[in-house]
Amino acid sequence: MSVTPRTIGGDPVYPIGLGCMNITHAYGPPMDEGNALKLLGRALDLGCNFLDTATIYGAGRSEELVGKAISERRGDVFLASKCVLSFKDGKRILDARPESIKKACDASLKRLGVDMIDLYYMHRPDPNVPIEESVGALSELVDAGKIRMIGLSEMGAGLLRRAHAVHPIAAMQSEYSLWVRNPEIAVMDACRELGTTLVAFSPVGRGFLADPPADPARFHESDMRGMAFPRFSAENYPGNLSLLDEARACAKEAGCSVAQLALAWTLAKGEHVIPIPGTTSLAHLEENHRAGAVSLTPDMVARLDAHFSPEKAVGPRYSPPGQASVDTEQYEFEKAGA
């Protein structure tokens, strides 16, 4: 399977990375260590060389597992992690003060068992700290040799430009899929202009575009989809299911699965876009990896664009507290419904 790499800050990576949140929390119970290491090892064996984790994933446990998986293979991996968003006394907090960012980086390096992180993101904006101060601290970490590149997550074009004026921003991570089109409002174009890679998280719609649950009411009690994402609620979810009919038809024409179609669609949106689906399944990992070789015609991309136009999604992508924690642009109809 011949696939052309994409780049982050000039470094080549396989066009589809691996988001490492699922292995420790979010969509059900955490994986046991043996299975998690097997999954991560298989990703590396396949040539998936972009692993994306964060301080908050499993309260540091994801970083520990990734660190174990790459301990003998550091040279095979483009390693990303995130700071600012974490837990304190069991509560989720935002802390982008320069001293906190530096302390968080040292803790991440220790958990990962590495001397340097390739890409270190601010996981969320902190409304109490100017972005310039936070990026200034990250640039000092670059100078100290603790990180190589700086990234942002869930921020809009305005904050990206302010941050980039302090230090080049290698990547912007945003939710982007057929089901969530908000980056198309402004940040995708800003990334293209500034040479910033758009790292698309949840590119298969938190499972909606892969194995859609028949009844979200049966989610495991630890599954965030039952709490934080209104599109999976009992009142909204049935209205979204009809969107899948066209996706299934297009997937059949393209000779791929719906999940592969969703990933191929993100890749078709620009050479600067890299999706990072997460999974706990070896079969899904391999299926997602093969999507790097799936090519969609411009006509099919346009057809999917029209069918999944933003206003057709039923329900907001975040609960009100979740939306308040991000700086991503919203469509006017979303603002009106808030």
Which H, E and C letters describe the chain, residue by residue? Answer: CCCCCEEECCEEECCCCEECCCCCCCCCCCCCHHHHHHHHHHHHHHCCCEEECCCCHHHHHHHHHHHHHHCCCHHHCEEEEEECEEEECCEEEECCCHHHHHHHHHHHHHHHCCCCEEEEEECCCCCCCCHHHHHHHHHHHHHCCCEEEEEEECCCHHHHHHHHHHCCCCEEEEECECCECHHHCCHHHHHHHHCCEEEEECCCHHHCCCCCCCCHHHCCCCCHHHCCCHHHCCCCHHHHHCCHHHHHHHHHHHCCCHHHHHHHHHHHCCCCEEECCECCCHHHHHHHHHHHHCCCCHHHHHHHHHHCCHHHCCCCCCCHHHHHCCCCCCCHHHHHHC
Kindly state the average pLDDT of the residues 76-105.
Answer: 93
User: Above 70 in pLDDT, residue 338?
Assistant: no
pTM recorded for the entire structure: 0.96
- The answer on pLDDT for 109 being more than 90 is yes
Q: How confident is the model at residue 87 (pLDDT cuts 50, 70, 90)?
A: confident
pLDDT digits (tens, 9 = 90+) for 121-131: 999 999 999 99
Mean pLDDT confidence for 139-155 = 98
318 assigned to active site: no
Instruction: Check residue 126 and give its pLDDT.
Output: 96
Per domain, the residue ranges of the chain are 11-337
Q: Which of 14, 27, 57, 318 is catalytic?
A: 57
pLDDT, residue 49, reads 97
- For 11-337, CATH number out of 3.20.20.100, 3.40.30.10, 3.50.50.60, 3.40.50.300 equals 3.20.20.100
**Taking 80 as the threshold, does the pLDDT of residue 337 lie above it?**
no
Q: How confident is the model at residue 218, as a pLDDT?
A: 84
pLDDT mean over 1-12? 93
Residue 1 pLDDT? 66
Task: Note the pLDDT tens digit of each residue in 261-271.
Answer: 999 999 999 99
* pLDDT score recorded for residue 14: 98
Find the mean pLDDT for residues 157-171: 98
- Report, as an integer, the average pLDDT of 314-332: 92
> Residue 158 — very low, low, confident or very high, per pLDDT cuts 50/70/90?
very high
> What is the average pLDDT across 93-113?
97
Percent of the chain with pLDDT over 90: 87
What is the percent of the chain with per-residue pLDDT over 70, rounded to a whole number?
99
Mean pLDDT value across residues 83-98: 88
pLDDT at 125: 96
- pLDDT at res. 86: 86
The chain-wide mean pLDDT, for the chain, equals: 95
Residue 70 has pLDDT above 70, yes or no: yes
pLDDT band at residue 90 under the 50/70/90 scheme? confident
